[in-house]
Amino acid sequence: MTVFEALREQLAKYKQDHILEFWSELSDDQRKELIEDINELNFDEVNLFFERATASLEESGEKLDDKLKPIPEAKFLSIAKTAKEHLDIFKNEGLRRIAANQVGVLLLAGGQGTRLGFSHPKGMYNIGLPSNKTLFCVQAERIVKLQQLAAELTGCYGRITWYIMTSEHTKQPTQEYFEMHDFFGLREEDIVMFEQGSLPCYDMNGKIFLDEKHRVAKSPDGNGGLYRALRDRGILDDMERRGVLYLHAHSVDNILIKVADPVFIGYCVAQKSDCAAKVVEKAHAHEAVGVVCIVDGKYQVVEYSEITNKTAEMRNVDGKLTFSAGNICNHFFTTRFLRKIGDLHEKELKLHVAKKKIPHIELVSGSKITPDKINGIKIEKFIFDVFQFAEKFVAVEVPRDEEFSALKNADSVGKDCASTAKLDIYRLHKKYIEEAGGTIEGDECEISPLLSYAGEGLKPIVNDQHFICPVYLCAENESYQNGHLN
For residue 465, give Cα distances in angstroms to 455, 456, 458, 476.
16, 16, 11, 18
Mean pLDDT of 411-433: 97
481 C-beta neighbours (distance < 10 Å), count = 9
Backbone angle region of 336, left / alpha / beta, with phi > 0 → left and psi within -120 to 50 → alpha: alpha
Q: In sequence order, what are the residues at sequence separation of 6 or more whose Cβ sits closer than 8 angstroms to the Cβ of residue 202?
A: 50, 208, 209, 376, 377, 379
pLDDT in tens, 242-285: 999 999 999 999 999 999 999 999 999 999 999 999 999 999 99
Does 480 have pLDDT greater than 70?
A: no
109, 166 contact by CB (below 8 A): yes
62 has a pLDDT exceeding 70: no
CA distances from 51 to 89, 104, 373 (A): 49, 36, 23
Report d(CA 439, CA 461) in Å as an integer: 12
CATH class in words for 60-408 = alpha beta
Between CA 393 and CA 77 the distance in angstroms is: 12
In angstroms, rounded to a whole number, what is the distance separating the alpha carbons of residues 64 and 97? 39
Q: What pLDDT score does 304 carry?
A: 87
CA distance 83 to 89: 10
Predicted confidence (pLDDT) at residue 486 exceeds the cutoff of 50: no
Q: In the prediction, which pLDDT does 484 show?
A: 36
Contact 75, 250 (CB under 8 A): no
Above 70 in pLDDT, residue 236?
Answer: yes
CA distances from 382 to 44, 199, 386 (A): 22, 14, 8
Q: How many CB atoms are located within 10 Å of the residue 378 CB? A: 22
Q: Taking residues 297-318, report their average pLDDT.
A: 92
Phi then psi dihedrals of residue 113, to 5 deg: -90, 30
Helix-helix angle 135-154:262-270, to 10 degrees? 60
Binned at pLDDT 50, 70 and 90, residue 63 comes out as confident
pLDDT tens for each residue of 76-96: 999 999 999 999 999 999 999
CATH class belonging to 429-485: mainly beta
pLDDT tens across 349-379, in order?
999 888 999 999 999 999 999 999 999 999 9
User: Can you name the residues that pair with 377 across neighbouring β-strands?
Assistant: 202, 355
Contact criterion met (CB below 8 Å) for 161 and 187:
no
Is residue 485 pLDDT above 80, yes or no? no
* pLDDT at residue 481 is higher than 50: no
Mean pLDDT over the full length of the chain: 94
Q: Could you give the percent of the chain with pLDDT greater than 70?
A: 97
List the domain boundaries for the chain.
Answer: 60-408, 429-485
